[in-house]
Structure 1
């Protein structure tokens, strides 16, 4: 049962790792994402992942009680609704991920959640990552993935965009924001047009996209008027940062935003988190194509066509 007051379990964790406050709110509102990505020192993320899984599976209101059958099985490492990997298995092999898929196909023993904890997400091979992607693309409501990585920047964008990231570093942190995004935002601040001006233009562009499924070519023209070919990567990173913030907002997390002013932008509808995740995925792909030197106009037009498809799906 979800409690109305803050959970004692989260108290010590959120004091040291503020980003986890968003996870606590998601739990209290019964809106946990299907996949969490915890980044930071291995021992820290592993400790929290294990305790959080035990907390979620506990059958007692004073969770984790340590004495119910679920807690006892968890402590003995024989819980039927938990799938884990040993650190000695990193990088995780495809065969083990196939075992995970078989486990996912079975019903939960206790009829609640099933949880798997996967370390070394930033060490996965491309083949293994593609296998894991199949587990993440069509999530079951009862299954929670807790993915661990020492570095967010080392995680493949396709995996990163399908999980909700929490950076477990002491002090202020922004979930979903990696070093590349941060550097691009700093670069925009150094341009003649301030980041505030660029930010407002991006918001107006998003509002135009949200209002009606406009012609993708028209949206592309509008985007290229805001950001030249030289500035394109920085502009896309700014767009990605906004989409990531909207993911947080749609899950009720207003404390860990890169742009808190978005909370006052009532024209930005509270679409389901899946829509914002799909939009972020489109921008990630556009950034990859930009890095591969795809012609800017063609790349932006393709992005707008894909975003139109996302918009129509609302």
Structure 2
């Protein structure tokens, strides 16, 4: 099932895979790539496609054969020349990067290029990013790095400049909504999940997830509470938000949904015809669009973005949300 989904994502990113195949054909393999794009656009699937191509025993028309021993081992995550790094908890830590650099510089078990893929590269802490930067500046041997991110602006500029950037475009959101509705998902939920992910299979899973539905409802209740008295909003954070959004990743998802809600308000105020994230909340959205100024809306959205940045520090998440509520009440940023 996972292989079928990965194959479909590779096909959807045809322009990217053709560009990588052309680099292989012309013998112009870069030492570092940055794959950036929305969640669910197939960055990891394409990274594995490229790893297979670089190690394939018998590529066909400059694409991996998928059947040789090397391709099969990449598929099963058992190739010694391919290293996949994921966040350890919420972050990618210095120890992970140090271990990676050590494994990339020692003699490999097999001949051929070494490839390391870093998912959520924007989650590298400062020490990890600096360790990677030193290795990117002075790569040793046939080594190719592939960094994956859905937050390109969060990557250190010094790392950005040393990578070839390939941007992954999402499929048509309207097409995804239509397909989800055909599968029995309500139009309002389909509109929400397609803002969260560009992967149709993941969107379908989220749409049927009771936990996600509860998160969606709670975010909208926070928007309503924030429009009323500050004490009511702060009580809401304590009583309803904090028990639901316990982990950093859950809080980040909640902040994203909150940001999308205010985008809906801005779109309504400006008279834009774009597909809303919460089309079932038109009465709430219209009410806020008439009540709030553009400067207030901009301040709220900036406050949410600032909270997302602070989230990955050691700040208490309930306190973070309380500060956000105060900031939105005042129309000011809490720094």
Q: TM-score range with shorter-chain normalisation?
A: 0.3 to 0.5
Q: Which has the larger radius of gyration?
A: 2
Q: TM-score, normalised by structure 2?
A: 0.44
Give the number of the structure with larger relative contact order, counting CA–CA contacts within 8 Å between residues 6 or more apart: 1
